[in-house]
Structure 1
Amino acid sequence: MPPLGPPSRREPLTSRREALTLLGAGIALAAGGCTKPSEEIVPYVRMPERLLPGVPVRYATSLSLGGFARGVHAIAVDGRPIKIEGNPLHPASRGATDVFAEAAILDLYDPDRSRTVTEHKSGIASWEMFERALAGPLARARSRNGAGFHLLTGRVTSPTLLRQIASLLRAMPDAVWHVHEPVDDTHATRGTVRAFGRSLRVLPRLDRAEVVLCVGADPLGPGPDQIRLASGFAERRRDPGRFGRLYVAESALTQTGIKADARRALPPHAQAALLVACANALGAGLPAPDASEAVRRFAEAVAADLTAHRGRALVLVGPALAPEHHALAHWINARLDAPVDVIEPPDRMDGRTPAGLTALAAALDSGTVEGLAILDCNPVLTGGPDLDLGSRIGRAAFSVHAGTHGDETAGATHWHLPLAHELEGWSDLRAVDGTASLVQPLIRPLYGARSIHEIVALFGESPARSGYDLVRETWHETWSETWRESRPAREAAAFEAWWRQSLHDGVIAGSAAAAITVADSAPPSLPPRMGAGFTVELRPDPCLWDGRFSNNAWLQECPKPISKQVWGNALALSRGEADRRGVGAGDVVRLSVPGRTVEVPVAVESGVADGVGVLTLGSGRARAGAIGNGIGADAYRLVSRAERWLVTPVDLAATGRTGAVLRTQNYVQVEGETAKLFRQIDLADLATATPKGIGADQPSLIEAWTGDADGHAWAMAIDTNACIGCNACVVACQSENNVPVVGPEEIARGRMMHWLRIDLYDAGTPEAVKAGFQPVPCMHCEHAPCEPVCPVAASVHDGEGLNLQVYNRCVGTRFCQANCPYKVRRFNFFGYADGQEYANLDAEPIRAQRNPNVTVRARGVMEKCTYCVQRIATERQGAERDGRAMNDVVTACQSACPTRAITFSDLARPGNPVSALRADPRHYALLEELNTRPRTTYLANLRAPNPDWAEDHT
C-alpha cells in the first residue's frame, strides 16, 4: 500500500531513546504540568463557584516584547492555557493583541524548549550541580567586590528584576551589567540626549494628531507599542471631520506606508534630505540638503500642511536614521507644538547606566572575565559577526546562559539553565508608557524551569526565594511608601486587598510615568551624508521579530503583511533595481561587505526605492529548533557594531542559483473589473458616496432567503480603512479554532489552512502604490454557492444564518471549494493535525494547547471560518441558563484586532452595530454582483490625498 503522505512527511520508526524521551515528557506533563500553580492567582472574569471541567477561566497577566509589557487575558481550561486575548484595562493592549502575544501560547508548549540544566562537558546536569559549580566563581567575585563578574540581559523594565540587579551591584560594586536588545532604539535614545541633554522616551499620540509625517518610521508596524499607536490612529480616522493626512517617506513598503495618503519611496539619504527640507521650511536655517526637485516639492507640501495644523501635527523618524535626525524631529515637533508625551525611560536604573556588547567583547578579549551570566538573550546570534561572541565567550573562566531554548548562545557557554515561560512564572513588567503590570503563572513549569527572578537570586547572598515572594516584596515596598496608617494589622489587610485588586485587573493603578516638560533646543548639526553605493536596510521581521520566535510554527506560516511571504525571508528590490542588476524574483544573490557575506533570494516588490534592498532579521538560524532551523537567510551576518540598521556600501552579485520565495498571495493591481474586489474612496468624494447592498436586488434562480428561523441573524462588517494588516486576527483564529500548520512543502504546492486571510490590493502602480488591506473570512452567504453542489449535504445553513460544515459527512469531493467565488474553504489533503503533522507538531505538549470546544479535523475534510460558532453556542447556553436574551458574541478575530476593524453582531437585534455600518456610505459587499448575499460585508478604504501635491517619481 502506498504511503498516505508525501515522502517528506514519512518519518523513520521511533528509536528506543526517543520513545523513552516522549514517555518521560508525557508523564511530566500529565503529573505536574497541567496543574494550577501553588500560589493563588486571581481571575479577571467571574470565577465559577466550582472549577468545572471544560469551563474556561481567564487570568490577567502580561507578556513582553523587547522587554516592554502588553497586558493580556490568558484563558485556561482544566489547567491548560489555550488562548491569549487582550486586557482592556491595560494601556498597551486596550483589549487587543498582536501576532506575538497570540502565538505565545504555542511557545509555551514548544517541544524544543529546554528541559534540563546542561553542562558543556558532561551534558545533562541538575540545578544542585550548577549551584555547586557556581559557588567557587561567585565567592572569588565577591572577594574582589565583583571585579571580573559580568551580567548580560536584554532590556529590563521589570521593577523586581531591576531591584534584584541593583542589589547585586551594591553587593559587588565592581561588577558590570550589560544590556543588549537586538531591536534597539539607540539612535532614538541618542537623539533625545542631543535634543534634551539626557536620555528620555518620547511617546507620540496618534489619537491627537491630524497630520503626521513618518520619515522611515513605521508606527503601525510590529513592535511593543503597535497596539496603542494603531488604536489611536484608527480612532482619529473614524471621524471624517478629523481624518487628517498621513505622509510617509520610506525605503520599502510598510504597514504605515500602506495607510499613507501621500507616500514617496526614498533611499535613506533622501529621507534625511526630506526631513532637513521640512525643518528649513519651519525656520531651522540648516544648510540646504542635496535633494531632487521632486523631494523638494514633496517637502514644501508636507511643511505647509504641518504648519497649518499646529498643535495637531507630528513628525516621526525611523530607527535607521542618525541620532541627529531624531533630534531634528524633536526640534520640529517643538515648533509644531506636536502631541507627544516625554517621560523618563521605564528601563533605566537610578545611578547606573548599563554597558553594551562592545564593552563585553573588550572585557572578554582582556581575559579579565571570571564569571559571565547571560540571561534571556541570544547575543551570539544577534551581536553580529564582527563581535564574534560565539568564540569570545569561551575566554570567560565561567559562563552560564539562561533561556527557554538551547539556542546559539547556550551552545557557547559552559552551563545552560532552562528558563520558565512567562505563563509559567511570577514577574512584573512596565509598558512603553511606564505602566506597571503583574505577570502571574497559569501553569506550573512544564520542564522544571525557573523564572529569571529565581535564577538571579542564585547570584545573591540571601537564600533562594520563590518568584512570587520576590515580586510581592517589590510591590509591598512600593505600596508602603504611600501607606499613611500606622497600625500594622490594618496595613497588612489593606495591602492584601490592593494586591488582589492589582492581580485581578492586571495593572498597577496609577503607575504610568508622568509626562515631563523639556526645554527648547536649537536645531542640531547634521551628520555627514551617507556614502554612495547600494544600501541594505535591515528591519525586524513582522512575524519573527528579532528571531526569538523562529521556532514558532504559527508565526513561520503567518504571511508577512506586505510581501505575503512565509517560511523565510528575501531581499526586497524594486523592479528597476532588479532589472539594472540582471536579477529576477527567486534569484539567489550574494550580499557582501568587508568580512561578511550572506546569500538570500530576491523578491521584486512594489514601493521599494531604487538603490536600496530591504531584508528582515531573525531567519537563517542553526539552533532555533525543529521548526526554525535552516529557514531563510541570516541577516545578522551584515550587522556591525557601528551600525545595526543600514549597511552601505554593499556588493550585490548573482550566484546563478534560484531559491523558493513562498507567498500566499501574489501582487494584485486592481483596475477595471478587478476594481470590484476592493473599494477605495477619496475623502473629498465621501459626501456623494452611497452604501452598496449585498446584491439582493439582483435576479436569482435561488429562492428568496427565509432563514434565521431561530430568531438570530449573525453578520460581520469589516472596516478596511481601519485594518493595518497586522495579522493578529489570523493567528487568533488559528489559536481559537485549532487551525493546523501545513509546512513549507505544502505551501509550495499552493496549499494552506488559514480560515482567514488578509489580501493586499493596489489601485496604483508599482512605483506609486495606493494599496489597502482586506481581511477575507467565509462570507456566510445567504445564497451560498457551496451548498447545492455538496453531494452529501455537508455544507449547510442553520437557522441563524451560519454557513456550516458537517465534518463527519464530508467525503472530500471539494465541489464546494470549486464553487466558492471567495476561495475561503480549505481542504485537509493530509492529516495536518491528525497523524501527519509537520516536523515536531505531533508532540504531546502541542496537543495540550488545542481548544477542547473545537473539533480537530482529520484528513479529507473541508473546513473554513465558522464565525466562532463555539462562542455563539457558549453564549446561547449562558442565556438559557440565566433566563435572558443573548448578548453579542465576540469572535476571536474581532477580539484580537487592535484597530477594532471587525464588528460582529446579530442583525435581528434592534440597534445592532452591524446594521448601522451597513447604512454607512462606504458599505459594500465583495463580488455583490454574484448575488450570493454575503453576511460578511465591508466598509471602503478612505484616502485623503493632498491636492497641492501630485505624486510623481522623477
Structure 2
Amino acid sequence: MPQVNELPTVASPVMEPAPIDRRKALGLLAAGIASGLASCSKPAETIIPYVAMPERLVPGEALHFATTLPLSGYGRGVIVKSIDGRPIKIEGNLRHPASLGATDLFAEATVLSLYDPDRSAVVLRDGAITSYEALQQAFLGEQQHMRANDGEGFRVLTGPTTSPTLLRQIGELLRTYPKARWHSHDPLGDPAAEAGATLAFGRPLHAIPRLDKARIIVVLDADPLGAGPDQMRNGRGFAAHRRPTTSDFSRIYAFEPVPSLTGAKADHRLALGTNEIGEVAVAIARAQGAAVREPAIPERARSLVTALTKDLADHRGAALVLAGPGLTAETHALVHWINTHGQAPLDLIEPLARTPEGRAPASISELTADLAAGKVTQIVMIGVNPAYDTPAELGFAAALPNARFRLHAGCYANETAELATWHVPLSHVLESWSDIRARDGTASLIQPLIRPLHRTMTDHELLARLVGQADARSYDLVRETWRSQGGADFENWWSQALHDGVIANSAAPPVSAGEPVLPALADAAPKDEHGDEQGHERLALVLRPDPCLWDGSFANNAWLQECPKPLSKQVWGNALLLHPDDARRLGMAGGDVVTIASRGQHVQAPVLIEPGLAPRSASLTLGMGRRKAGAIGSGVGVDAYVLRGVDSPWLVPSVSLARTGRRQAILTTQNVVRRPDDVRELFPVHQLGKPQALPKTLAIDDRPSLMPERPRPDNGHAWAMTIDTSLCIGCNACVVACQAENNVPVVGPEEVARGRDMHWLRVDVYDHGGSGDQQLGFQPVPCMHCEHAPCEPVCPVAASVHDGGGLNLQVYNRCVGTRFCEANCPYKVRRFNFFGYADGQEYANLGLDPYRGQKNPEVTVRARGVMEKCTYCVQRISAAERAADREGRQVGADEVHTACQNACPTQAITFGDLQQPDASILRRRTEPGHYALLAHLGTRPRTTYLADVRNPAPDHGGGGT
C-alpha cells in the first residue's frame, strides 16, 4: 500500500529561515489584500444568459419525470429528479408494481453511471477510433450479403429482454432474413426453473409469487428478499404480514447452503447442502400425498420439516414454497406440484421474452457451438458481455473470432468489445427512449432525462439499421409499437403513459396450467466423498450474484464497489466463504489466499470465515474480477465465472482448495455482532407466542443529566425517526440513497483499509442465533439526533449545534477538525474527511468533470478537514417549510420524506414531526417494542427503533433446530 502524504506542502519563497522585518511583513500583507480583492472582481470571460427560457425550466428548481430502469431484462418504475437538465436522484414510482414507490441500490446508483467518464463515446474498428459514416458503409455491405443468402450465418445476441419494441424489431429482422437466428444470454438466469416448469406443465411457465398473500413461506435455496428485479415487490409483500400489531403475522422457513437476506429474516433457518435441500422438497411432497420415494433428509432437519409440513397443511391457500436456482429441474417440478396441491398464492404466466410471432431465443451454448463449427459469419451483440460472463468451459471467447463480422454494442468497451471488429457505443438508459415489462408483465415506457452526453445510439436504432432503416429514431419506433394501444386519441394516451410511468392494464394474464406432473426422481445422492487422489479437500462451491455488483455490469460504479455487502460487510472485492469447521480442518484462516480448482480451471481468492454456511459448502460471488470495466472496476476481486459449469451454473459440485502461502487483507467496514451480551443489549428480539411477550413502549431515559435541558422546538417542529427492525431486510437501498442525496463521497480501498469510510448511514448486523445456528437481524444506524447530544458541548467552535426543530446540525464552515465530537459520540455515526474525497483528492477518476453533473446542488460538497453526518435530509425539510410558507399553510403531518425512507422497499423507516398529533411516527413510537439505542446513556435520541419480532412455530424454538 503506497504511503499517503498527510500534509502535502510546496516550497514558498516567503517561508525562508531569515527573519522578516516590519517593512517586509507589511509589504506581504498589502500584496495579500490586493490579490484577495482581485479574486473577487468580475470574471474576464463573456457569459450569455438565456434569451428564451426552456419550457418549465426554472433555474435551481427540480423537475420530476417517470421512467423505467432495467435489471436482467425486467423493468422497475422510478421517478427521476432533474435540476437544470441534470438527473441527480432516483426515487421509486408508487404506480409501478415492481417498485411500489421504493428503490434498490442498483436503481439509486444508475444516476452515477450516467456521468461515468469511462462510458464508451466513439465507434471503434479493430480497437481504433472511426466514424459513424464508416460504420454505415459497413452496414450496407453486410446487408447486401445477408439479402443474398436470406441471412444465413447471421446471428443477433441480446441480453434478457422484455421490451415490446425490441422484440417487435427482432421479429421484423427474422422475417427480413429468414435464415438468421436470435440468441439470448442471461448470466444470472435460472435454467433449472424453466426446465422444471416444462417437466411439470409441459411448457416453460414463469411463477410470480404473491408474498403479500402468504402466511407460511418455505424457501428452498431461494432468496426472494435478495437483490434482483423483484426485490422491491417481494419486500413489500413480506412486510405486509410482519408487524406485531397485525393478527396474521407470517412465518418463514429457510433451508439454504449460504446465508441470504431471506434466511436472515426467517423464523426458522437451517443450513443444509444443496442435495439435502432437495430431499426436504421430497419430504414436503410426500407429506402432502405425492407418490414419491422416501426422502433422505438429515436427522437435524427432521423436526423442522415436521413443523413446516403441519403449517402447510393448516394454511392451505396461504402457504407458499419457493425453489432457488441451485436446485435441480426435478426439484423445481416437485415444488410446482406442492404449490398447486396447496393452492399457493402465486400466478403462472407465459414467458415474456418472445417476439410477437411467438419465437423464443436460442441459447448461448448453441451460438458458441455454431461459432466453433464455423457456421456464423456475422454476429451482432447488443448490451451483453459474454467474453466475461459465460462459463470458461463453454469457450465463447475462443470461438468468437471465427465470425468474420463481429459487432459489439454496449455502454462500455468491455471484454467482449475487445474481441469485436466493431464496437458501437450505446446510450445510457437515462438518455434513451424505449419500453420494458416488469416480472408480472406490466409494461412501462422509458423516456430520456437528458440529451446523450456522447454521440451514441440506442439498441432500437441499431436494429433498425440492420434492416435498412438508417434514419429511424427510438422515439418513433417506440410510439409505433404502442400506436394501436392508444386508439384514436393516441397523443393523450401517450402523454398519460409517460406521466404515470406505467401502461394501465398491461400485466400478463395468469394462465391455468392444469394439474402438474410429478417428476421421476432419481435415488437420493450418496453421502459426498471429499478428497481426491492428491489428498486435496473437496467441497461444493455455491455461486451467487454479487449483492452490490449483480452480474458484473455495475463493476465500474464506485458507489456500489464501496457499498458494504449486506451480510459480510466486505467492500472492494469478494472472498471465498468457508465454514469455520471446514477452515479449521483445512488449516486455513481468514485472509489466507487459496487456489480454487475445478475441471481444469482455477482462480485464487482470499478466505472469509462465515459460520452461517452449510458444512462442506463454500461460496463465491459472481460479478468481480473484471479486466476491462474502467478506472473503478478493473482488477477488483476474483472472477468466479471461470469456475462455472454449463450444465450446473449455480453449483460446482466439487472443488479442491490449496493454500498459496500468501495473505490478503479483506476490506470490511464493520463486523457482525455475535457476542450474546452485546446482542441482547443493542438488538432486542421478541418471539410471538412465547412467555417473553412484547414489552410496553420503552420510555426514553429521563434521569438527571449535566447536559442542558431538552431543547424546546421554537419553530413548531420536532423532527424524529423510527426504524422497525422487524421489517428491515438489510438490502442497502437506504445507504446508497443517502449517498446520492447528500453528495457523500467515495474514499477508495486504501482509505477503507484505514477505517475511513464516509457513509452517513450504516446497517449493523446482529447474530441472535444460538450455538451452531445463525439468525441475523439488521439495524440501520443514522445520526441519532440526540436531545442530550454528547457531541455538542465538546466542540470548541460550536460547529455541532441544535436547531429549532430538534436536529443536531453540523456547521461545516465552522468545523476545524478537532474530531472531539466523533470521540464523544457513543453511536459512532460521524465521519471525518481526512482528505478532499469530493474536493480535489478524489479516488481514481471520480474527480473528472462528468461526475460533477450528479451532485445535488441543495447539499454542500464538503472540503477536507470537516466532520460529516446524517442531517435527516435537512434540505428536504427546508424545501417543505418554504413551500408551506408560500402557500400559507403548515407542513403536512407526513409531508417530509427522507431519502432513506423513500428508498426502503419494506417501509421500515418512518420520519415525521412529533408536534403533529396525526403524524405516523407518533403511532409507531407507541407500538410495543419501541426502544432507544443505548438509552441508559441518557442521550435522548430522536432516532428510535422497534424491536425485531420473530414468529417461531409452536413448540419449536426459533432458529434452525
**TM-score normalized by the length of structure 1:** 0.93
State the match for 2:540 in structure 1: 535
How far apart, CA to CA, are the structure 1 residues paired with 2:472 and 2:75? Answer: 24
Confirm or deny: 8 A CA contact 1:692 1:925 kept in the other structure: no
Q: 1:913 is aligned with what amino acid? A: S
How far apart, CA to CA, are the structure 1 residues paired with 2:889 and 2:691? Answer: 41
Matched, 1:641 2:676: no
State the match for 1:627 in structure 2: 632
Deviation string for 1:545-594 (max 9, x for gaps)?
Answer: 00000000000000011111100001111111111111111111111112
Deviation string for 1:237-276 (max 9, x for gaps)?
Answer: 2253111210000011100001010110001011111111
Q: 1:464 is aligned with what amino acid? A: D
Matched, 1:259 2:268: no
Confirm or deny: 8 A CA contact 1:605 1:766 kept in the other structure: no
Deviation at 1:639, TM superposition (A): 1.1
Matched, 1:362 2:357: no
State the match for 1:610 in structure 2: 615
Q: 1:437 is aligned with what amino acid? A: S
How far apart, CA to CA, are the structure 1 residues paired with 2:99 and 2:157? Answer: 29
How far apart, CA to CA, are the structure 2 residues paired with 1:815 and 1:219? Answer: 44
Deviation at 1:528, TM superposition (A): 6.0
Confirm or deny: 8 A CA contact 1:253 1:606 kept in the other structure: no
State the match for 1:22 in structure 2: none
For the structure 1 residues 530 and 384, does the alpha-carbon distance in structure 2 shift closer, same or farther, using more than 3 Å as the test?
Answer: farther
Counterpart pick for 1:524 among 519, 522, 527? 519
Matched, 1:96 2:102: yes
State the match for 1:119 in structure 2: 125
Matches within 5 A, 1:539-578: 539-578=544-583
Confirm or deny: 8 A CA contact 1:179 1:356 kept in the other structure: yes
For the structure 1 residues 341 and 736, does the alpha-carbon distance in structure 2 shift closer, same or farther, using more than 3 Å as the test?
Answer: same
State the match for 2:898 in structure 1: 891
Confirm or deny: 8 A CA contact 1:586 1:601 kept in the other structure: yes
For the structure 1 residues 139 and 478, does the alpha-carbon distance in structure 2 shift closer, same or farther, using more than 3 Å as the test?
Answer: farther
Q: 1:814 is aligned with what amino acid? A: R
For the structure 1 residues 829 and 599, does the alpha-carbon distance in structure 2 shift closer, same or farther, using more than 3 Å as the test?
Answer: same
Structure 1: state its 5+ residue gaps: 11-30, 36-46, 481-490
Deviation at 1:947, TM superposition (A): 2.9
State the match for 1:14 in structure 2: none
State the match for 1:757 in structure 2: 762
Confirm or deny: 8 A CA contact 1:761 1:773 kept in the other structure: yes
Deviation at 1:6, TM superposition (A): 5.7
What secondary structure is seen at the aligned counterpart in 2 of 1:454? Answer: helix
Confirm or deny: 8 A CA contact 1:138 1:371 kept in the other structure: no
Counterpart pick for 2:427 among 405, 420, 430? 420
Which deviates further from its counterpart, 726-735 or 192-201? Answer: 192-201
Confirm or deny: 8 A CA contact 1:437 1:506 kept in the other structure: yes
Deviation at 1:298, TM superposition (A): 2.1
Which deviates further from its counterpart, 527-536 or 97-106? Answer: 527-536
For the structure 1 residues 758 and 597, does the alpha-carbon distance in structure 2 shift closer, same or farther, using more than 3 Å as the test?
Answer: same
How far apart, CA to CA, are the structure 2 residues paired with 1:193 and 1:199? Answer: 5
Matched, 1:159 2:164: yes
Deviation at 1:905, TM superposition (A): 0.3
How far apart, CA to CA, are the structure 1 residues paired with 2:54 and 2:770? Answer: 56
Confirm or deny: 8 A CA contact 2:269 2:959 kept in the other structure: no
Confirm or deny: 8 A CA contact 2:686 2:693 kept in the other structure: no
Q: 2:338 is aligned with what amino acid? A: I
State the match for 2:85 in structure 1: 79
Matched, 1:691 2:696: yes
Deviation at 1:48, TM superposition (A): 11
Matched, 1:872 2:853: no
How far apart, CA to CA, are the structure 1 residues paired with 2:183 and 2:699? Answer: 60
Which deviates further from its counterpart, 293-302 or 155-164? Answer: 293-302
What secondary structure is seen at the aligned counterpart in 2 of 1:71? Answer: strand
Matched, 1:505 2:510: no
Confirm or deny: 8 A CA contact 2:150 2:176 kept in the other structure: yes
What secondary structure is seen at the aligned counterpart in 1 of 2:419? Answer: coil
Confirm or deny: 8 A CA contact 2:391 2:643 kept in the other structure: yes
State the match for 1:906 in structure 2: 913
**TM-score normalized by the length of structure 2:** 0.92
What secondary structure is seen at the aligned counterpart in 2 of 1:648? Answer: strand
Deviation at 1:686, TM superposition (A): 8.7
Matches within 5 A, 1:134-283: 134-238=139-243, 239-283=245-289
Confirm or deny: 8 A CA contact 1:553 1:741 kept in the other structure: yes
Deviation at 1:291, TM superposition (A): 2.2
Matched, 1:106 2:112: yes
What secondary structure is seen at the aligned counterpart in 1 of 2:863? Answer: coil
What secondary structure is seen at the aligned counterpart in 1 of 2:394? Answer: coil
Q: 2:405 is aligned with what amino acid? A: F
How far apart, CA to CA, are the structure 2 residues paired with 1:270 and 1:786? Answer: 53
Deviation at 1:348, TM superposition (A): 2.1
Counterpart pick for 1:919 among 918, 926, 931? 926
Deviation at 1:149, TM superposition (A): 0.2
Confirm or deny: 8 A CA contact 1:141 1:370 kept in the other structure: no
Matched, 1:307 2:313: yes
Confirm or deny: 8 A CA contact 1:693 1:928 kept in the other structure: no
Confirm or deny: 8 A CA contact 2:163 2:435 kept in the other structure: yes
Deviation string for 1:191-231 (max 9, x for gaps)?
Answer: 11111111111111100100110000000000001100110
Deviation at 1:66, TM superposition (A): 0.1
Deviation at 1:342, TM superposition (A): 0.9
Deviation at 1:946, TM superposition (A): 1.6
For the structure 1 residues 867 and 92, does the alpha-carbon distance in structure 2 shift closer, same or farther, using more than 3 Å as the test?
Answer: same
State the match for 1:818 in structure 2: 823
Matches within 5 A, 1:833-848: 833-848=838-853
Deviation at 1:673, TM superposition (A): 5.3
Deviation at 1:683, TM superposition (A): 1.2
Matches within 5 A, 1:430-449: 430-449=437-456
Deviation at 1:664, TM superposition (A): 1.1
How far apart, CA to CA, are the structure 1 residues paired with 2:497 and 2:679? Answer: 52
Confirm or deny: 8 A CA contact 1:606 1:766 kept in the other structure: no
State the match for 2:23 in structure 1: none
State the match for 2:18 in structure 1: none
Counterpart pick for 1:352 among 355, 359, 375? 359
Matched, 1:58 2:53: no
State the match for 2:510 in structure 1: 515
For the structure 1 residues 535 and 8, does the alpha-carbon distance in structure 2 shift closer, same or farther, using more than 3 Å as the test?
Answer: farther
Deviation at 1:144, TM superposition (A): 0.8
Deviation string for 1:863-897 (max 9, x for gaps)?
Answer: 10000000011111111111111122000000000
How far apart, CA to CA, are the structure 1 residues paired with 2:145 and 2:691? Answer: 74
How far apart, CA to CA, are the structure 1 residues paired with 2:731 and 2:500? Answer: 26
What secondary structure is seen at the aligned counterpart in 1 of 2:207? Answer: strand
Deviation at 1:627, TM superposition (A): 0.4
What secondary structure is seen at the aligned counterpart in 1 of 2:212? Answer: coil
Confirm or deny: 8 A CA contact 2:268 2:959 kept in the other structure: no
Confirm or deny: 8 A CA contact 2:353 2:360 kept in the other structure: no
State the match for 1:466 in structure 2: 473
How far apart, CA to CA, are the structure 1 residues paired with 2:765 and 2:754? Answer: 21
How far apart, CA to CA, are the structure 1 residues paired with 2:522 and 2:821? Answer: 61
Matches within 5 A, 1:793-832: 793-832=798-837
How far apart, CA to CA, are the structure 2 residues paired with 1:882 and 1:399? Answer: 60
State the match for 2:35 in structure 1: none
Which deviates further from its counterpart, 299-308 or 329-338? Answer: 299-308
Confirm or deny: 8 A CA contact 1:279 1:332 kept in the other structure: yes
Which deviates further from its counterpart, 388-397 or 551-560? Answer: 388-397
What secondary structure is seen at the aligned counterpart in 2 of 1:51? Answer: coil
Confirm or deny: 8 A CA contact 2:347 2:510 kept in the other structure: yes
Structure 2: state its 5+ residue gaps: 11-46, 531-538
How far apart, CA to CA, are the structure 1 residues paired with 2:772 and 2:554? Answer: 33
What secondary structure is seen at the aligned counterpart in 2 of 1:775? Answer: strand
Counterpart pick for 2:676 among 649, 671, 680? 671
Q: 1:255 is aligned with what amino acid? A: L
For the structure 1 residues 903 and 177, does the alpha-carbon distance in structure 2 shift closer, same or farther, using more than 3 Å as the test?
Answer: same
CA RMSD across the alignment: 2.1
